[in-house]
Structure 1
Amino acid sequence: MPIDQHGDAVLDGVSIRSLPKVSLHDHLDGAVRPATIVELADEIGLDVPETDPGALADWFADKSDSGSLVEYLKTFDLTTAVMQTREGLTRVAREFVEDLAQDGVIYGEVRWAPEQHLARGLSLDEVVEAVQEGIEEGEDAAASAGRDIRVGQLITAMRHTDRSLEIARLAVDWRTRGAVGFDIAGPEDGFPPSQHREAFDYLASEFFPATVHAGEAAGLDSIRSALIDGRALRLGHGVRVAEDLDIVSREGEEVLVQFGDLARWVRDREITLELSPSSNLQTGAIAAWGTTLEDHPFDLLYQLGFSVTVNVDNRTMSRTSLTRELALLAETFDYGLDDLEEFQLNAAAGAFLPVEQREELIDLISEGFGD
């Protein structure tokens, strides 16, 4: 399914970009416009690999397609470097929201790690305030353009540092001012959620929701720790839960699968999987199954009844959009509009919002898909 020059694709006669969408797994420092990076870098005297925005976009795509999460994460050194001032953070957050709205997203959650943006003297509160200001500016700009969107912050701690309790307290402090949830991110293998048990205990005591990066660069033990130690309501990626599925037989379209206890728990409890197809290929998260989108266990998980959602992870690194991810899946697995709607309904149900607002989202999605 070709993506046109406007970043759109047509499925069953309908523009995918025009459909209402929900984005749950989208990193702020992974969604900076290349042109913005060039301009902000010039303002602070930072050298960049390419000064032409198009060439810089190519650089990100090339460096990110490594098959390794560790190598993939190195590209963030550049984006975070231009997000160390209040002005830079606010601009990036504003453009983040504008780009989501342009892509048809009506609700999004932006995850980012405040502790990574203190190099030029800002405090944790000041960086969160700067990002929230940008989000609200982006929402207002979208409304002026006739697009309604709401975006909440997922305050994130880096799993290889020791500030998770401090960041958890920061997230709870901002819960009525824009923060909707907590996450841990960064190098997954070797840094299990159990190392941050004190932070997760605190969040649980405050009834504050958490999603946890798990099942991407590490396997079932990481997912188990996210659920037990992190009390995760959603799994950031979580694709490797498929390692707990044993395909017993295949007969045409019929597949007989034996569930492990972990996979059954995730499926039966409707733990939301924040799957990011293009990113999962780039980081090698699906290496156990293959190297192409056809090999991704997305469709297997969907057909087995897991609560699958479609996400971009990092728009700049993967040179993608939610429209593009949906188009790629539709083309690869022969999905129709009903399938794409199901993914959005799953995302709405998993959003860190009060139930009344989730029901409103569901109604907007159903209306937008013509139900």
Structure 2
Amino acid sequence: MNSSAPFSNALTHEQLRAAPKVVLHEHLDGGLRPETIIEIADEIGHTLPAQNPEELRAWFFEAADSGTLERYLETFAHTVAVMQRADDCFRVASEAAQDLASDGVVYAELRYAPEQQQLAGLSLEAVVEATLAGFKDGQQRAAENGNPIEIRTILCGMRHANRTKEIAELAVAFRSDGVVGFDIAGGEIGNPAQHHLEAFEYLRRENMPFTIHAGESCGPESIWGAVSVCGANRIGHGVQLIKDIDLTRDEPQLSDLAHYIRDRRIALEIAPSSNLQTGAADSLETHPISVLHSLGFNITVNNDNRLMSRTDTSREFQLLSETFGWGWAEVARCTENAMMASFLPYPDRLVILDEVIRPAYGALGSTNAE
């Protein structure tokens, strides 16, 4: 990753923290505070690779910075281990809401796989109930600190397991309580979305939106399966779609799949720092996000896992500003894209967009122009 700033007028982290942001792709078990991990691990007798918060934070980043999705996913053994009791589910969710809000995020959809949080005997329902209660608590605390945020939940089934239909049914059961969608997570290689078609067909019958991780470790064929076969409303990552676009000609030539995704406004939930760590992109300078944005794709900017990538949303935009010269116009565009692509009811999207996001960026744009 290039740490230099080739654009002298790049937006700073502090400037970006003051701007309202929207996050659609954020894993709850990838954003824990190291201090919380250490405290809970000590209570339950779980051995960690480090006992000092800063050393543990560095370990997560370095272990995840291996260049493969498989190695990246191994780090979650420690975060999931401390999310097995109801009180711990509540605490992690509350802290996640507060931490996102402190970075200026005004709306976020956090996802997690409740089937991984049953090692201490919790039912799936108990995991979801405790987590939703934690989000509510975190929202209230954030508002009291002057950082209002709205949190909603996406439940994940694990793509290498056989419980996706069960988790899809769980998502539908809690749709009136803050669960707004479904996803499949885990290793993409060898686990195509089509293997879980029963779950996606059920969700379509129930009119429940869903996103699918695709085009991270695998190529356009994975995205095709997620969109064309399963009917995904959004794509998690999707950066490998660039392989379906011929950039060698005078005018870029899009495949039928790329045309469909762009023209139907299917949002790409891109997480630049995470993409570098998992090998989905070779460098920030060659990351396809800028090209995809310039071609009119529905781009959103996300954290994926704040702990593993040692990042936050402001930093992700800062890196894009430093690398590609993005200014307030691009940040505002991606933020509006994310708000409109969210699984929140349409009138609720417009309230946040018209009352929070657009006025703020209007002011920032005027200040920037002056």
Q: TM-score, normalised by structure 2?
A: 0.94
- How big is the shift at 1:361? 2.1
Match of 1:321 among 294, 298, 312: 312
1:302 aligns with 2:321: no
Contact 1:25 1:313 in 2 (8 A): yes
Between the aligned partners of 1:42 and 1:279, the Cα distance in structure 2 is 29
1:275 maps to amino acid: I
Match of 1:266 among 261, 270, 277: 261
Hey, what does 2:303 align to over in structure 1? 312
Contact 2:265 2:297 in 1 (8 A): yes
Hey, what does 2:212 align to over in structure 1? 212
Q: State the percentage of identical aligned residues.
A: 48
Q: Which runs of 4+ in 1 moved over 3 A?
A: none
- How big is the shift at 1:11? 2.3
Structure 2 regions of 5+ residues with no counterpart?
Answer: 364-370
SS of the counterpart of 1:98?
A: helix
1:99 maps to amino acid: D
1:257 aligns with 2:252: yes
CA change 1:52–1:222 in 2 (3 A) is same
Contact 2:181 2:209 in 1 (8 A): yes
Between the aligned partners of 1:357 and 1:248, the Cα distance in structure 2 is 42
- How big is the shift at 1:230? 2.3
1:130-158 deviation line (CA, Å, top 9, x unaligned): 10010000001011112211100001100
Hey, what does 1:362 align to over in structure 2? 353
SS of the counterpart of 2:247?
A: strand
1:305-343 deviation line (CA, Å, top 9, x unaligned): 000010000000000000000000001000111110001
Structure 1 regions of 5+ residues with no counterpart?
Answer: 4-8, 250-254
Between the aligned partners of 1:94 and 1:257, the Cα distance in structure 2 is 45
1:158 maps to amino acid: M
Contact 1:215 1:237 in 2 (8 A): yes
Hey, what does 2:327 align to over in structure 1? 336
- How big is the shift at 1:301? 0.1
2:253 maps to amino acid: Q
Hey, what does 1:282 align to over in structure 2? 277
Between the aligned partners of 2:306 and 2:142, the Cα distance in structure 1 is 19
SS of the counterpart of 1:369?
A: helix
1:59-96 deviation line (CA, Å, top 9, x unaligned): 01110011100000000000000000111111000000
2:45 maps to amino acid: G
- How big is the shift at 1:228? 2.4
2:149 maps to amino acid: I
Matched ranges for 1:138-217 at <5 A: 138-217=138-217
Contact 1:12 1:336 in 2 (8 A): no
Match of 1:346 among 324, 337, 353: 337
Between the aligned partners of 2:33 and 2:265, the Cα distance in structure 1 is 34
Hey, what does 1:70 align to over in structure 2? 70
1:73-132 deviation line (CA, Å, top 9, x unaligned): 000000000000111111000000000100001100000000000000000000000100
**Larger relative helix fraction:** 2
Contact 1:200 1:229 in 2 (8 A): no
1:8-43 deviation line (CA, Å, top 9, x unaligned): x98289711010000000000000111110001001
1:17 aligns with 2:13: no
Deviates more, 1:305-314 or 1:355-364: 355-364
Hey, what does 2:366 align to over in structure 1? none
1:176-211 deviation line (CA, Å, top 9, x unaligned): 011000000000111111110110010000000000
Between the aligned partners of 1:172 and 1:164, the Cα distance in structure 2 is 12
CA change 1:14–1:279 in 2 (3 A) is closer
Hey, what does 1:119 align to over in structure 2? 119
2:325 maps to amino acid: D
Contact 2:10 2:326 in 1 (8 A): no
SS of the counterpart of 1:294?
A: coil
SS of the counterpart of 2:326?
A: coil
1:102 aligns with 2:72: no
Between the aligned partners of 1:27 and 1:267, the Cα distance in structure 2 is 25
- How big is the shift at 1:229? 2.9
1:123 maps to amino acid: S
Aligned-pair RMSD on alpha carbons? 1.6
Contact 1:157 1:167 in 2 (8 A): yes
Contact 1:10 1:16 in 2 (8 A): no
Between the aligned partners of 1:229 and 1:258, the Cα distance in structure 2 is 23
Q: TM-score, normalised by structure 1?
A: 0.94
- How big is the shift at 1:2? 8.4
1:258-280 deviation line (CA, Å, top 9, x unaligned): 11111111011110000000000
SS of the counterpart of 1:370?
A: helix
